[in-house]
Amino acid sequence: MDIIVCVKKIPDPEIPPAKFKLDMESKRVIPPEGIPPVINPYDEQAVELALRLKDKYGGKITVLTIDNDADTSIVKHALAMGADEGIVLADKAFEGSDSFSTSHILSQAIQKVGNFDLVLCGRQAADWDEGLVGAIIAENLSLPLVTLAEAVDVVDGKLKVKRVTLDGYQIFAVPTPAVATVSNEVGQPRLPSGWGIISASRKQIPIWKAGDLDADPSQIGAKAVRRRLVKLFIPVREKKCEIIEGETTAEASVKLAERLRKAGVI
Amino acid sequence: MDFELTEEQRMFRDMARKFAEQEILPTLKENERQEKFDSSIIKKMASQGLLAPHMPQEYGGLGLDYVTSAIIWEALCWASLAVTQAAMSGPIQPATNLLDAGSEQQKQKYLPPVCRGDLILSGAVVEPNAGSDSSMIETTAVRSGNHWVINGTKVFITNGEIADVVLFIAQTDKSKGLKGLASFIVERGTPGFSSKPQKGRISWRGGSEGSLRFIDIELPLENQVGETGRALRDALRGIDTARLFLAAGALGIAQSCLDASIKYAKERVQFGKPIGGHQLIQEIIAEMATKIEAARWLIYRAADLKSRGIRHIKEMSYAKYFATETALWITSQAVKIHGSFGTFDDYPVGHHYQDAITATILGGTTQMHQLTIGQQLLEMAAFR
Ligand SMILES: Cc1cc2nc3c(=O)[nH]c(=O)nc-3n(C[C@H](O)[C@H](O)[C@H](O)COP(=O)(O)OP(=O)(O)OC[C@H]3O[C@@H](n4cnc5c(N)ncnc54)[C@H](O)[C@@H]3O)c2cc1C
Ligand SMILES: Cc1cc2nc3c(=O)[nH]c(=O)nc-3n(C[C@H](O)[C@H](O)[C@H](O)COP(=O)(O)OP(=O)(O)OC[C@H]3O[C@@H](n4cnc5c(N)ncnc54)[C@H](O)[C@@H]3O)c2cc1C
């Protein structure tokens, strides 16, 4: 089974709050100094799910990322885990993309890669958390979509996808090719292996530019953006401590309940 | 001169560190309390591709250079030096020794399964009366017809208790001193071979040590490794590799103690502010960090010379001596910064404090390295 996995580079979600800074003017996150970005954890799980399918059915795994720094590190991370090929998509023309343009670029790249049975995305990118890209890719390519996949198998030539719900799961039978977004229930992704690191770090990763794709220029980059981010800010959370006094415990408890009701907590 | 790690080195460092967090840390406290080495870690390291980083690929290793291998050690030992040393000691000293001096048949037979974690190999030099001074080795090998007869005792042998195969040094002719020493292979199950765990350690409690007893063991001639008279010289590159990795391991525990101390010093409030805000604590943290950086570059320098096949006797001794003594000092400071909490095994610093003293002893004691440096600089030996 041939699988394409879309992986995104994000700021390390473990950044201590004190180091998380925004540029409110350009509405961007300022990359924290000394803390390298990481592969989106959900995408790492998508790679893990792809590898489990490869372990069982064989086939080839190709990872794609749009990264305008042409940084190959997260693609190499996926290769070191066991993926076969990786491609970085980078071009000035991609600058300022939103979910639609991001998905357009990825859809074109997926078509250029060609032969595939399954496209996997993370359930959401852990920086912006929009969870849109997988769905828009499915729409662009007119493919069936299952979101929040926990497990995928092959039964009677069809994909059997287990989808997580709030209090249970659903099982879908889906014809190939298809798109699935992968949920964290997949569990811990494998570590890159020593041999994987050696071959990944010595591999040349192709960089595809806008011109390498059959992309519609009106669909990519800042000019294609269909919505505007009005404000990006870090909310200020205030902590206040109030001591509720009372002659007796019962009296204090009543006062506490009244105070909580006034605060709208109960 | 390039002081940046390569992408490959960063990837190995990050992977080894995660492996240590996932596979070594969770069981460390309980294993140490029971003075138990869980040898299943050997197989886990092997399937992760971590067990034999520096061994050639044709024998099942990764064929990495020594700087990268040292970086892996540092990252693994961030969790535990004792566990890492017990897990990886086979592919280091004895396997390197076999690689240098063994016949092709011996190498093919033993090295791939050792690097795969299928076979536990120990290297046995030290005896009750022969520690730093190998000329005192009393284990005898007497040639009798078409075999050797072996008698003697080895002590403090890493994995001695569980080894499947032991590469050891014995004396063939006492009158020849060091020139009489020869190396041999003995497999567990050979009549006359027995081993015992050495328990009651106050340090290295997650590691594994045992003593070996050889009583009238008959070994076929082909079990000799290398030539008689060259045993110590043949063992040197393996010992040198062990020194490098012990230095890197000491760096790992020192780094872990610094990390823990910085975190704790920011959290623990006394006299109205985090203790990190007190100048005397900052002085300790600054000294820790500076010494760690100094040790790190001594180690990478020695490792780089070693990778390039350049003579590095004193550089390796600088690294081993400085890194392990530094770790001893840093781990003790880290316990102090943690106060009484630091004296319990719930914090990482206590584990490392226990292990640090041993790092200054095995792989050549601090004094032996100082004497080596002295000999190199003064061109005269003070230890013979
Ligand atoms: C070149 C580029 C320039 C950008 N410029 C701006 C900007 O100027 N201002 C701004 O606010 N935002 C910018 N963005 C961010 C962009 O708005 C979001 O990345 C996009 O909306 C996707 O939303 P999300 O990250 O929440 O992804 P989600 O929809 O949450 O992602 C779901 C899944 O889609 C896949 N995916 C998402 N992004 C990528 C990717 N880049 N490569 C591969 N797979 C991916 C992953 O599998 C991911 O798990 C830019 C992004 C790109 C790629
Ligand atoms: C955890 C662990 C694992 C080990 N694993 C192995 C193994 O796998 N195989 C193996 O063969 N051995 C192993 N050893 C043994 C180790 O190599 C020896 O303990 C070490 O070489 C020192 O020998 P010793 O303990 O007999 O000390 P000694 O040599 O008796 O030294 C005692 C003290 O005297 C000092 N000293 C000795 N000579 C001089 C001198 N000339 N001038 C100044 N000071 C001197 C030393 O520095 C030391 O402080 C292991 C030890 C430990 C603790």
- The rounded distance, in Å, linking the Cα atoms of B333 and A208 is 52
Q: Check: CB of residue B216 under 8 Å from CB of residue B192.
A: yes
Tokens of B17: 């560190």
Residue B376 identity: Q
Average pLDDT over residues B93-118: 97
Q: Please, which pLDDT band fits residue B263 given cuts at 50, 70 and 90?
A: very high
Q: Check: CB of residue B256 under 8 Å from CB of residue B352.
A: yes
Average pLDDT over residues B181-189: 98
Q: Does residue B64 belong to the interface with chain A, where contact is any CB pair within 8 Å?
A: yes
DSSP readout, B172-215?
A: S-GGGGGGGEEEEEEETTSTTEEEEE----SS-TTS-EEEEEEE
User: Which residue on chain A is closest to B17 by alpha carbon?
Assistant: A191
For chain A, residues with pLDDT lower than 70 are none
Q: Ligand 2 atom 16: the closest Cα is on which residue?
A: B362
> What is the atom index within ligand 2 of the atom nearest the CA of B126?
11
Q: Please, which pLDDT band fits residue B338 given cuts at 50, 70 and 90?
A: very high
Q: By C-alpha distance, which of B153, B165, B308 is closest to B225?
A: B165
Q: Check: CB of residue B315 under 8 Å from CB of residue B298.
A: yes
Q: Does the C-beta of A107 come closer than 6 Å to ligand 1?
A: no
Question: Which residue among B8, B47, B50 sits closest to A198, beta carbon to beta carbon?
Answer: B8
Partner-chain contact A202 B15, CB within 8 Å: no
**How many Å lie between the alpha carbon of A38 and the closest alpha carbon of chain B?**
11
For chains A and B, what is the number of CB pairs under 8 angstroms?
42
Partner-chain contact B15 A192, CB within 8 Å: yes
The SS3 assignment for A62 reads strand
Ligand 1 centroid to Cα of residue A131, in Å, is: 9
Using a CB-CB distance cutoff of 8 angstroms, which residues of chain B are in contact with residue A76?
7, 11
Query: Hey, what domains does chain B have and what are their CATH numbers?
Result: 7-116 (1.10.540.10), 121-229 (2.40.110.10), 232-378 (1.20.140.10)
Using a CB-CB distance cutoff of 8 angstroms, which residues of chain A are in contact with residue B11?
76-77, 80, 192, 197, 200-201
Q: Does the C-beta of A8 come closer than 6 Å to ligand 1?
A: yes
> What is the atom index within ligand 2 of the atom nearest the CA of B382?
41
> What is the atom index within ligand 2 of the atom nearest the CA of B363?
17
Partner-chain contact A197 B19, CB within 8 Å: no
Cα–Cα distances in Å, from B256 out to A240, B22, B77, B206?
36, 15, 9, 17
Using a CB-CB distance cutoff of 8 angstroms, which residues of chain B are in contact with residue A201?
6-8, 11
Q: Check: CB of residue B221 under 8 Å from CB of residue B293.
A: no
pLDDT in tens, B234-250: 998 899 999 999 999 99
A 79-98 residues with CB < 8 A to B: 80
Q: Ligand 1 atom 7: the closest Cα is on which residue?
A: A96
How many CB atoms within 10 Å of residue B222? 12
pLDDT for the residue numbered A241:
86
Q: Does residue B12 belong to the interface with chain A, where contact is any CB pair within 8 Å?
A: yes
Q: Does residue B193 belong to the interface with chain A, where contact is any CB pair within 8 Å?
A: no
pLDDT for the residue numbered B138:
97
- The rounded distance, in Å, linking the Cα atoms of B71 and A195 is 16
pLDDT for the residue numbered B49:
96
* Angle A136-A141-A144 from CA coordinates, rounded to 5°: 80
**Which of A198, A199, A204 to probe the B interface (max B CBs under 10 A)?**
A198
pLDDT in tens, A40-86: 999 999 999 999 999 999 999 999 999 999 999 999 999 999 999 99
Q: Tell me which of A241 and B110 has the higher pLDDT.
A: B110
Tokens of A232: 């990006």
Residue where the block lists tokens 């699935």: A180
Domain boundaries, chain A: 2-224, 237-266
pLDDT for the residue numbered A49:
98
Helix H or strand E encompassing A51: helix A41-57
- The rounded distance, in Å, linking the Cα atoms of A236 and B83 is 45
Q: Does residue B22 belong to the interface with chain A, where contact is any CB pair within 8 Å?
A: yes
Question: Which residue among A73, A188, A191 sits closest to B15, beta carbon to beta carbon?
Answer: A191
Which of A22, A23, A97 maximizes ligand 1 atoms within 8 Å of its Cβ, making it the mutation to test the pocket?
A97
pLDDT for the residue numbered B326:
98
DSSP-derived pairing of the beta strands B165-171 and B121-124? parallel
DSSP readout, A176-242?
A: SSEEEEE-GGG-PPPPPPHHHHHHHHTSPPPEE-GGGTT--GGGSSGGG--S------PPPPP----
pLDDT exceeding 70 applies to what percent of chain B? 100
Q: Ligand 2 atom 27: the closest Cα is on which residue?
A: B131
pLDDT for the residue numbered A266:
85
Q: Please, which pLDDT band fits residue B1 given cuts at 50, 70 and 90?
A: confident
How many residues are given for chain A? Answer: 266
Q: Does residue B56 belong to the interface with chain A, where contact is any CB pair within 8 Å?
A: no
How many CB atoms within 10 Å of residue B141? 27
Q: Please, which pLDDT band fits residue B383 given cuts at 50, 70 and 90?
A: confident
User: Which residue on chain B is closest to A201 by alpha carbon?
Assistant: B8
pLDDT for the residue numbered B244:
98
Tokens of B332: 């003790």
pLDDT in tens, B32-65: 999 999 999 999 999 999 999 999 999 999 999 9
Q: Check: CB of residue A175 under 8 Å from CB of residue A117.
A: no
Does pLDDT of B384 surpass 80?
no
Partner-chain contact A194 B12, CB within 8 Å: yes
Average pLDDT over residues B308-320: 98
Partner-chain contact B12 A191, CB within 8 Å: no
pLDDT for the residue numbered B237:
85
Cα–Cα distances in Å, from A96 out to A90, A226, B4?
12, 11, 32
Partner-chain contact B62 A198, CB within 8 Å: yes
**How many Å lie between the alpha carbon of B15 and the closest alpha carbon of chain A?**
6
> Check: CATH 3.40.190.10 for A2-224?
no
User: Which residue on chain A is closest to B72 by alpha carbon?
Assistant: A194
Mean pLDDT value across chain B: 97
pLDDT for the residue numbered A19:
86
Q: Ligand 2 atom 6: the closest Cα is on which residue?
A: B157
Using a CB-CB distance cutoff of 8 angstroms, which residues of chain B are in contact with residue A194?
12, 15, 48-50, 53, 62
